[in-house]
Amino acid sequence: MSADTNHMLLRIEGLFKRFEEHVVLDGATLDVPRGSLVSVLGRSGAGKSVLLKCLADVVRPDQGTILFDGKPLGIGDAAARAEFRRRCSFLFQSNALFDSLSALENVALPLEQTTDLSDAEIGERSLEALRQLELDAHKDRYPSELSGGMQKRLALARAIVTRPELVLFDEPTAGLDPLRRNAVFAMIAKYQRQFGFTALVVTHDLTEALIASDRVALLDKGRMCFEGTPAEFSASSEPMVCDFRDSAEALGRSLAAIRRGEALNSEDS
């Protein structure tokens, strides 16, 4: 196995996926270095969530290769897929917490489903995960009794309790205001470094992703049109990158022109 393969925990090569006549992924390729935080950017409908669902085996790609730790995740290779699920966790956009279970029971669930640990060991490890995310005092509360930020931390505690090597985040800041978006990205970056897992985040939050990530990629029309460091993204002159990166500035210019026009019209009337 080459040094480059050892360095890459996850490699996606030429992934294609269509739904009837609609092409969602059109040869998407991505490298995720071991121990890094990588964000995949893109507009709504660009195929980001479908990319994650292909990784999680929720959706099967039509073509392409997914390599995890240098080994292909073949569609018919049940053993490889089971190994991937054992070493990977998924944090859903909606948190996907069970309202009828306490915080501690929510965190314990993956251990109950995927390990042969005793009840005592599961309880101890689950409580430790809550403690690490500063939620142990709320172990008996239900999700509805927790704030939005605490629910997000609870979902992360459940995602990391199995001690995964890779955590997939699907739009973790969807529907949140700017302050809460900042807090969620700070939380992901903090615990990614603290626990040493590799993080793959799909998001449309450009500013936060550039600050928090080691590497970023831009998915557009089913293809990765950019992959590199945040600094390289900020300096890129690629048209697709400029269009996505500078959209806020373009909006500002458009609004300024509209306001000038309104001012001119009011003076002429």
Is residue 250 very low, low, confident or very high in pLDDT (cuts 50, 70, 90)? low
* Pairing of β 37-41 and β 63-68: unpaired
- Predicted confidence at residue 61, as pLDDT, reads 93
148-192: pLDDT as tens digits: 888 988 998 999 899 999 999 998 887 778 887 888 888 889 889
Instruction: Dump pLDDT digits (tens) for 125-140.
Output: 999 999 988 899 999 9
Nearest residue to 70 (alpha-carbon basis) of 62, 60, 56, 80: 80
pLDDT at 187: 85
DSSP state of 11: E
pLDDT, mean of residues 202-212: 90
Taken in order of first residue, the domains within the chain and their CATH numbers are 3-236 (3.40.50.300)
pTM for the structure as a whole: 0.83
pLDDT surpassing 90 at residue 33: yes
